[in-house]
Structure formats: structure tokens, C-alpha cells
Structure 1
Amino acid sequence: MKSLCVYCGSSIGGDAFYAQAARELAREMVNDNIALVYGGGKVGLMGVIADEILRLGGEATGVIPKALMDKEVGHVGLTRLHIVKDMHERKAMMADLSDGFIAMPGGIGTLEELFEIFTWSQLGLHDKPIGLLNANGFYDGLIAFLKHVVDQGFLKESQASLLMHASHPDALVQLFKSFHPQRHDKLLDPESARTIV
């Protein structure tokens, strides 16, 4: 595993624990020589994890739409910064550059990115690991809701299990390092996947 895409908030959040979790995840990634791929911002948890990766000597690649770069939220001190035309191109490039995906605490944008990449896995468009960094129990409600979705027959247990989760960065990174793609019923074949992701 050479790189991980981290989805996280453009806000710092209401608890200092979240920024600390971002710094801890950065340390785990640098210790394992895993590069960061993220949304390219300098604000919120995005800025915290990127700054910590760089401070520790790791690599950080950002992908940001031109409209957001123009509003001066782009991080100009990264190892690499790709400026793209829109959010669709941003997400596709982030997926292409990454060997796995972690969602840290964040808002609607973080959830949208998470669920898109989760859906792509369910469809068979990729077989890369996806996980929640459930810092301070942030994702407890989402984890419970997904169990409810399974219980109500809208999601198979084998598909729900594609989304791993752990409370601490070291445990989550270990899950990613030991990840092996599971066989489950996917709606598309691998040849289709190569043309989309």
C-alpha cells in the first residue's frame, strides 16, 4: 500500500480530539511509508493532516477544483497539487491515485465522497479497502444505521462489511495492511471497472 486517500472536514470540528486523530493518522501513515492523497485544502482537518504528513517528512498530494483554489483554500506547500476543473474530476483523480480510502470525521462533503467510493466498491468498480476512522465515536450512528439498512434488506451483509472501521488510527492502518479483497456479488465486472476508475 503506497498511498491512502483521506476524506475529512474542511472544518476543524467542535472537539480537539478530531485534530489529534488526524495527526495520529498522519504519523501512522508516515511510519508505514504511505503517502497522503486528499482534497488539497489548507483549512480544517484537511490542513491538519496534510501539515502533519509534511512535517514528518511524508508525501502529500492534493486534488482541488479551480473554483476552490481561487478562493484561496488550496494548500500551496504540498508535495504535489493537482488543480482540476470540478468535483467530479477531483474525486476520480483521488480514486485513481489511491490504494485505499479512509473517512475521518467531516460534514456532508466527506460523507458524499465516502458513499460514492463505497458504492463503487459495491458495484465492482474497485476492490480497494475503505474504512471509517471512528474517532471519539463520531461514526457510531452511521455504523448503527448501516446495520439497520442490512436488517431491512436494502444492503447485503457481505457488502456492508466492505466498510471497515476502527476508533484509533493504528488499528485502522493495520486493517488496511492486512486487507484482502472479498468475493461478493458485484453488479459490474472488473473490465467495466477499468474504464470508470
Structure 2
Amino acid sequence: MTLIQSICVYCGSSGGRDASYLQTAQALGTAMGQAGIRLVYGGGTRGVMGAVSEGVIHAGGQVTGIIPRFLVDKEAAEPELKRLDELIITADMHERKHKMFERSDAFVAMPGGIGTLEELIEIMTWGQLGRHRKPIVIANINGFWNPLAALLDHMREEGFIHTAHQVQPLVIDRVEDIIPAILQAAENGNRHGREEIIEKL
């Protein structure tokens, strides 16, 4: 059985200006559905969010949407919500993010706005603090995340990222490489964990 049963996808509730954002989101969802990997995401039915969930659903996969009550009318349409296998409505954003973390074995950040950036940085911070070792992928579609990568390099060079070994997100340009990279990272992490246990024995 694969180590990755579910992947949390952080992404925008709008589609962006480039059609490739929606296309790659749907392609990612399709790949997840075909691989039997559950999508855990923000529950929206529009924009990049809607595209990734559509991809999973059309490929016969399972979808868990987690959305705060105050965003239901803004980011989701009721008929589409009924197509999800599971819909969790939370009291606020903090509860939403915690549940997304609990239910996911890996994380992918697709192009998005401030909310997507905040979710990505938080999950990277938790990794840096040693709270998890789950794979993190930055889907660098058309170089979308290049400015963030430059900023992280700058922070590292200036001595503000002291435990960089704890958080090493995979920056992947091609959407078709994302699932294989996550599966490989999970296997490598599992092997490393077994080696640590053997060393302690």
C-alpha cells in the first residue's frame, strides 16, 4: 500500500490570467484520481480549486472539501458541493487549516493568492520546526513561484533560515512530475526513518 493516501492542494479560488493554471490544476486532479489518492482542499468550486476537484472527480477519485462557514457562499456553489465525497464546514480558518493538515499525507501549492501563500508558508514553517516530515511540493507552473524561491534564497543567505534541512520543498515545473515526486519523497522519508530507528537500536 502506498504511503500517500491523500494530498492537500493549496490553490486559488480564482482562475488567474493564464489558462494554463486551470489546465494544470485539472491535470493534477486527474493524476490524483487515477492514482487513487484522495484530494483534500479548501472546498471551493471555482477557479483553480474547482479545476483540481473536477479533475479528481472525473477520474473517479475521492474529494474532501474543508471550508469555513463564512466562505461557503463566496467560494462554492451548492450543486457542485454535493458532488464531493466529504464536505467539512469549520468555524474559522484556523480549524480549517488544522483539519487539512491532519487529513493529508503531503501538500502541493498550486498558483494562488495571499491565502495560498500563507498556507504554504505555514506548512513549511511547521516542517522547519520539526512538527512533520510530510512531502511539500511547490508547483512552479510557468515560473509562478520564482519570486518566492528568490526570497527564500535571500533569507537563507542572510542567515534567517537556520534549519533549512528540516524544510526542503520540492519545486516542480511540470505537473506530470508532481505525483511521482511525492511518492518518491515519501519512500525516501520512510527509508530514512527506518535507518534512524536501526541506528538507535
Offset of residue 161 of structure 1: 5.2
Gaps spanning 5+ residues in structure 2: where?
193-201
In 1, the alpha carbon distance for the partners of 2:120 and 2:68 equals 18
Q: Residue 117 of structure 1: which of 123, 130, 134 is its match?
A: 123
Whole-angstrom CA distance in 2 between matches of 1:46 and 1:141? 22
Match of 1:86?
92
Q: Name 2:30's counterpart in structure 1.
A: 27
Q: Which residue is 2:198 aligned to?
A: none
> 2:117 is aligned with what amino acid?
L
Instruction: Deviation per CA, 1:23-55: give whole Å up to 9, x if none.
Output: 111122122211100000111100111112111
State which of 40, 46, 68 in structure 2 corresponds to 1:65. 68
Partner of 1:76: 82
Q: How many residues align?
A: 183
* Aligned CA distance change for structure 1 residues 71 and 158 (closer, same or farther; 3 Å): closer
TM-score, normalisation: structure 2: 0.85
User: C-alpha distance in 2, partners of 1:123/1:157?
Assistant: 8
Deviation at 1:181, TM superposition (A): 3.4
Percent identity over the alignment? 45
Cα pair distance change 1:122/1:181, threshold 3 Å: farther
Kindly state the Cα deviation for residue 70 of structure 1 after the two structures are TM-superposed. Answer: 4.3
1:114 CA drift (Å): 0.5
- Residue 95 in structure 1 maps to residue 98 in structure 2: no
Instruction: Give how far 1:16 is off.
Output: 0.2
Name whichever structure is richer in helix by fraction: 2
Distance 1:150 1:61, change over 3 A: same
Does the 8 Å CA contact 2:29/2:56 hold for their aligned counterparts?
A: yes
What is the alpha-carbon distance in structure 2 between the residues aligned to residue 59 and residue 152 of structure 1? Answer: 43
Within 1, Cα distance between the matches of 2:75 and 2:163?
A: 43
Deviates more, 1:69-78 or 1:1-10: 69-78
The alignment status of 1:128 with 2:131, answered yes or no, reads: no
- TM-score normalised by structure 1 residue count: 0.87
Flag the 1:79–1:93 CA change in 2: closer, same or farther, 3 A. same
Aligned to 2:51: 48
- Gapped runs of 5+ residues in structure 1? 184-197
